[in-house]
Structure 1
Amino acid sequence: MDSADAKITGGGATTAAYTSHQPLSLKTKILYGAPSFAGAAMIIPILINMPKFYADVVLVPLGFLAMAIAIARSLDALSDPLMGWISDHTHTRLGRRRPYMLIGAPLCGVAFFCLLNPPAVFTGGRAAIWFGVTFILYFVFHTIYVLPHYALGPELTQNYNDRSSLFAWRESFTILGTIVAAGAPGVMIGTFHLSQRQAYFRLGIFFGILVTVLYTLLVVTIKERPDFVARESNPLVPGVRRALRNRPFGILLASYVVGSIAGAIPATMMPFFNAYVIRPPNPDVWLSKLLVGYFGLGFLSMPMWVWIARRIGKLNTWLASFFLGISGGAAMFLLRPGDIHWLMVVICWAGIGFGAGLFLTPSMQADVIDYDELYTGKRREAQYTAFWSMLPKFIAIPSAAVPIAILASLGYKANHVQTPQVVFAIRAIFALAPATCSALSFLIAWRFPITQTIHNAILEGIELHGRGEVAVDPMTGASVPPPTPGHDEDVGWFLDYFSSGELKRYLARGASQPVRDVMRVATMSIAVSIISVIYVLHRVSSLRADPGAMISLIVVAGGLAFAIFVFHLMRLGPARRLAAGEVPADVVRAHLGQVVEAIREGTPERAVG
């Protein structure tokens, strides 16, 4: 912090007292961002190296790998909103975020080591079980620490440009960790002549310890802002509904969901594209070089993108970066065997664009959270972060698992020259699919409305609310009175357990209708989930036979159905309270009118008056 920063203590940590517009010190940015070095270094071998390692070295059938990936990522997506809600509602001496970093990081380090080091005696079915269990545990523990870490970022500063700088530092460490993890296997194998197992053993120990040390350092040196910790959080289900009515968030989320496909596919398919399409003389070494080139250019380009964003705005900068990814993906489809140096050029070109999205999207998301606070008076960083990550993860599940399953269905054979059909599938999936998704994501992002001027007006409105004065929504011109805690606001949040259609049916058909609506959807959802489980168990009754491509899609469908079931199960109690007449009919009608207005304007609605 700057020399003028006032010091406060609590929970065993000492740091500066933050204000909304006060720039963060370089020390704070580094301490916040450094843990991402280890986190990113762990995720790279898991998403890029492990599928091919388990397929070609441990000899696990591709269908089992695809199924395990789908199950693990489904559970990971389901745990995100739960972890966000838990973090937002936690009140300890350490705050809302730091306790979970202290718990989750070391557990994730252990799971990481186990995943990278399957017992040498395990092959086939037993190795598939080992992969599935450790893969699932890794992502569960990863959610426990990383979601509170990411939620902490928007709380540290509300300064428009300082947020870009903070997240640029975090993502710079992310890319540095990625570069190290991407290059380390190739260096160990090519220079020190280690086997893949020996290389992954050393990586597992080093990064498992490092992630624990860096997150512990963050916890003991950075204190959460006490004004944010003390703020009341909201119920989970109504919070989801209000987030979806936030038009800027909806645009940003939709663009990110579509764009996440462009990120998930290359991570899984690059080793296969390198080894079986380009076919360089030493695929493992060249894979490390390609990854270092991609992430290295992303890292080196970040100061340029920060400079551009300060001059033309976050959105215009983000839109400009899409061109590099789209053109790079299209160019890679044209490459043929032996074009390894051309592949390096195109990979580096695409990497420049990759660097922009890393820090711009979380910075823009933080601005969206401020807009939500203008209407609700609540800080919901973890919940927005959870919802931000949950939907893209569900979309990314088939993006990561289905390509592997497709290769298996087309006759992929480990460590062999592949058939023309398999080679074409690898080229199309790796190059054309991400380029198409990037183009669609660009078209969606074009409509994002929050500029620096609008964001400054949002913060001014929040300050007016703090003084009890009426603010103006800078995007719609609507007057926004300060949220007033009490009965009216509580009723508004309660009625947001229900959709507009459900409330209309309640008024038209009687008190028991909400319970029937909730039970019908919950029953259908759990039925789909159970059928999916039965189908999967039937197909994998023997670990000797590859379960095939369809199994991954069934797992995704079952995971989504179970998420819907849990969502509606949480609504059953409120539905019974509504059926008991807890809220008068005229209040329900007034709430419906405000919901219609909020949907039309794309804003979180105000409390029922």
Structure 2
Amino acid sequence: MDSADAKIAGGGSPTAAHAHEPLTLRIKLLYGAPSFAGAAMIIPIFINMPKFYADVVLVPLGYLAMAIAVARSLDALSDPLMGWISDHTHTRLGRRRPYMLIGAPLCGVAFFCLLNPPASFTGGRAAIWFGITFILYFIFHTVYVLPHYALGPELTQDYNERSTLFAWRESFTILGTIVAAAAPGIMMQVGHLTERQAYFRLGIFFSVILTVLYTLLVLNIKERPDFVARESNPLVPGVRRALRNRPFGILLGSYVVGSIAGAIPATMMPFFNAYVIRPANPTFWLSMLLLGYFGFGFISMPIWVWIARRVGKLNAWLASFFLGISGGAAMFLLGPGDVWYLLVLICWAGIGFGAGLFLTPSMQADVIDYDELYTGKRREAQYTAFWSMLPKFVAIPSAAVPIAILASLGYIPNAIQAPRVVFAIRAIFALGPATCSVLSFLIARRFPITETILNQILDGIKLHERAEAAVDPLTGAIVPPPTPGHDEDVGWFLDYFSSGELKRYLAKGASQPVRDVLTAAAASIGVTILSVIYVLHKVSSLSTDPGAMISLIVVAGGLALAIFAFHLMRLGPARRLAAGEVPADVVRAHLGQVVEALQTGTPSPAVATGVVNPS
């Protein structure tokens, strides 16, 4: 029997390979195929829906921008919660699969409703419909997609096999994207359908396919029992330890900045195509441009896999930046009638797009192993939540503000635009993403984990399983094996607090932690309340456009609400610390370990010893 098809006791479904054993093609296909439908749904939502609701349903652009900002803020809030829930789930189906089984069909229903607003709805009522269905779509999307993505790093720990696994997943992503990008234009051109008729059919088709493919995954791939059985960690300390993980910080920083380069073109391409290039059939050419971008990304992916195996994931990823930067910047020079030049540049940039799709999640999986070296825990979903949440907060203004800016400059639907509007579309679409890609490249080049380093990390994890100390290959530090018990519990408990808060606790007395937490929570919820008041004041009537500033205020309020929830979860631990459950000398020792961890960029300080279990 092939080792990659090893069976879990009591079941006949394939599970993960061991550290250096290859996954079978069947596992890769079952894991990757659901991304076909998930990605296909994203395209009409981000590419087609803003313009459809603006030009066909006649929703003011400012309201679309506000609805997008509200929906994505709530979506971002749900990511860390869903990650924590998935990591803490222990069911017969495992930690990941129950949520795929529940979330996928619900997401399909929300998707269909979003694409099919009632024909009688226009203006304010249509804006409300858009906002509600947009919010529900992304909530249910998080329920199924975050556990799906978290399952990937668990299936294999091999450096190159991970690249292949994620390449398969992202190949289905691009394939679904191509189908969804081309379908509306082709259906309307060949089938002589209206936009509403085309979106009705697409809504039914992709909703059903999403449900079927995730059901097949759940029924045919079982999770690794050794990962499912491991204890997870408290949410807030897990956040702090993840942010102390230097490789993750580098990768996340590059991805956050780079997400701007992806969010802006997704929103602005229909406007750039229709009002800057101005082809005779904008809908058809938009489909062709998207087909070229994603098609060349799909075709180039095996080449990038080959390159990554020979020069490493990081070097392959860095090389891909050149194509996106050069192609994007050159689009600024285009004007009316340059549709073929635009198609060539879009295809050029698409080649680079294919590399980033699978290399970044593969590198993230390596970071999760580095975290396990220090924490002894598998936290795929929590890291995936970070990967999803922070870029969303950046992408909210990237997607919402550009269309709000166009509205403030005098954008008129279905008309020749004023020169200042055309210039704004050209600059936002071409120069903005190119600039962000340059910054993302400069951050990414510092990523330290290579294939050799990863193998040393995995060797260290094996040493810990034998209760032996390991060496951190990035810093040379000796890492003792994490030992479950009261000492480790105290280390996680004290990570509810920052170094500054623990120092003030030692200097000012037992009541200081509670005061610090309440002050931070009050400040955060205050910002949220002021944001809500400002938005309600400005949006007193649905008959006027709210303008660009509203989107930024909504983003600020959403981020503040996330911070408030973070501090609220720290109130109970603050009261326990104030009650003296942890001796002052242990707090001092922990502070020294945190400082060392921050200086070395390790995910976790050494475990405190000789203390009473605060739990």
For normalisation by structure 1, the TM-score amounts to 0.99
Residue-by-residue CA offset, 1:266-301 (whole Å, 9 max, x unaligned): 000000000000000000000000000000000000
State the shift of 1:249 in Å: 0.3
Deviates more, 1:597-606 or 1:533-542: 533-542
Q: Summarize the alignment of residues 159-174 of structure 1 with structure 2, pairs less than 5 Å apart.
A: 159-174=158-173
Partner amino acid, structure 2, of 1:322: F
Contact kept? 1:246, 1:372, Cα under 8 Å: yes
Give the Cα separation in 2 of the matches to 1:20 and 1:451: 16
Name the counterpart of 1:553: 552
2:92 is aligned with 1:104: no
Q: How far does residue 395 in structure 1 lie from its aligned partner after superposition?
A: 0.3
Report the Cα offset of residue 2 of structure 1. 3.2
Q: What corresponds to 2:580 in structure 1? A: 581
Question: Which amino acid letter does the alignment assign opposite residue 541 of structure 1?
Answer: S
| Aligned residue in 2 for 1:239 | 238
**Structure 1 residue 144 corresponds to structure 2 residue 108:** no
Take 2:13 and 2:450, find their aligned partners in 1: how far apart are those partners?
34
The alpha carbon displacement at 1:15 in A equals 1.8
Aligned in 2, Cα 1:93/1:436: closer, same or farther, shift over 3 Å?
same
Matched letter for residue 526 of structure 1: I
After superposition, the Cα gap between the structure-2 partners of 1:51 and 1:13, relative to the gap in structure 1 and judged at 3 Å, is farther
1:335-368: per-residue Cα shift (whole Å, max 9, x none)?
A: 0100000000000000000000000000000000
Q: Percent identity?
A: 84
Does the 8 Å CA contact 1:279/1:338 hold for their aligned counterparts?
Answer: yes
Residue 29 of structure 1: SS of its match in structure 2? helix
CA contact (8 A) 2:5 2:24 kept: no
Displacement of 1:13 in angstroms is 6.3
CA distance in 2, matches of 1:304, 1:42: 27
CA contact (8 A) 2:4 2:17 kept: no
- Name the SS of the counterpart of 2:14 in structure 1: strand
CA contact (8 A) 2:4 2:23 kept: no
Unaligned 5+ residue runs, structure 2? 610-615
Where do 1:67-146 residues align within 5 Å?
Answer: 67-146=66-145
CA distance in 1 between counterparts of 2:480 and 2:138 reads: 42
1:190 shift after superposition: 1.0
CA distance in 2 between counterparts of 1:223 and 1:594 reads: 39
Contact 2:4 2:16 in 1 (8 A): no
Which residue of 2 is the match for residue 370 of structure 1?
A: 369
Q: Which amino acid aligns with 1:328?
A: G
Secondary structure of residue in 2 paired with 1:361: helix
Equivalent residue number for residue 396 of structure 1: 395
Once the two structures are TM-superposed, the CA of residue 3 in structure 1 deviates from its matched residue by 6.7
Q: Distance in 1 between matches of 2:524 and 2:410?
A: 34
Question: Which amino acid in 2 is paired with 1:86?
Answer: I
Distance 2:22 2:499 in 1: 42
Once the two structures are superposed, the pairs formed by residues 197-212 of structure 1 within 5 Å of their partners are: 197-212=196-211
8 Å CA contact retained: 1:13, 1:219 = no
Counterpart in the other structure of 1:485: 484
Once the two structures are superposed, the pairs formed by residues 395-474 of structure 1 within 5 Å of their partners are: 395-474=394-473
Give the distance between the partners of 1:13 and 1:99, measured in 2 at CA: 18
Amino acid at match of 1:279: R
**How far has the Cα of 1:23 moved from its partner?**
1.0
Summarize deviations over 1:561-589 as a string: whole Å, max 9, x none: 10110000000000000000000000000
Which position in structure 2 is the counterpart of 1:507?
506
| Deviation, structure 1 residue 8 | 2.4
- Alignment-derived partner of residue 296 in structure 1: 295
The C-alpha deviation readout for 1:105-161, integer Å capped at 9, x for no partner, is 000000000000111111111111111110110000000000000000000000110
1:231-263 CA-to-partner distances (Å, cap 9, x unmatched) read: 100000000000010000000000000000000
Residue 13 of structure 2 aligns to a residue whose secondary structure is strand
For the residues of structure 1 that align with 2:320 and 2:524, how far apart are their CA atoms? 40
Q: Tell me the alpha carbon deviations over residues 471-495 of structure 1, each in whole angstroms, 9 at most, x when there is no partner.
A: 1111111111111111110000000
Aligned residues: 608
Q: Give the whole-Å Cα distance in 1 for the aligned partners of 2:20 and 2:568.
A: 41
1:21 CA displacement: 1.9
Cα drift, residue 432 of structure 1? 0.2
Secondary structure of 1:583's match?
Answer: coil
1:574 match: secondary structure: helix
Measured after TM superposition, the shift of residue 534 of structure 1 is: 1.3
Give the aligned partner of residue 607 of structure 2. Answer: 607
Code of the aligned partner of 1:608? A
* Counterpart for residue 7 of structure 2: 7
Question: What letter is aligned with 1:223?
Answer: K
1:274 aligned partner: 273
- Alignment RMSD (CA, Å): 1.0
Report the Cα offset of residue 193 of structure 1: 1.1
- Contact kept? 2:75, 2:138, Cα under 8 Å: yes
Matches of 1:524 and 1:484 in 2, distance apart?
Answer: 38
Residues 1:215 and 2:214 are matched in the alignment: yes
Distance in 2 (CA, whole Å) between partners of 1:35 and 1:451 is: 29
Question: Which residue does the alignment assign to 1:336?
Answer: 335
Question: Within 2, Cα distance between the matches of 1:367 and 1:236?
Answer: 21
Give TM-score, length-normalised by structure 2: 0.98
Displacement of 1:449 in angstroms is 0.4
Q: Please name the residue that 1:316 is paired with.
A: 315
Query: What is the distance in 2 between the residues matched to 1:63 and 1:5?
Result: 53
Deviation for aligned residue 1:17: 5.5
Following TM superposition, by how much is the alpha carbon of 1:501 offset from its aligned partner in structure 2, in angstroms?
A: 0.5
Question: Equivalent residue of 1:449, what SS?
Answer: coil
Secondary structure at the aligned position of 1:15 is classed as coil
Deviation at 1:18, TM superposition (A): 3.1
Do the aligned residues in 2 keep the contact of 1:5 with 1:16 (CA within 8 Å)? yes
Contact 1:9–1:15, Cα closer than 8 Å, also in 2: no
Q: Which residue of 1 aligns with 2:612?
A: none
Instruction: Kindly provide the CA deviation profile for residues 172-213 of structure 1, in whole angstroms up to 9, marking residues without a partner as x.
Output: 000000000000001101111111111000000000100000
Following superposition, the deviation at residue 35 of structure 1 comes to 0.1
Give the 3 Å change call, closer, same or farther, for CA 4–494 of structure 1 in structure 2.
closer
Q: Within 1, Cα distance between the matches of 2:41 and 2:145?
A: 12
The CA distance in 1 between the partners of 2:90 and 2:279, in whole Å, is 55
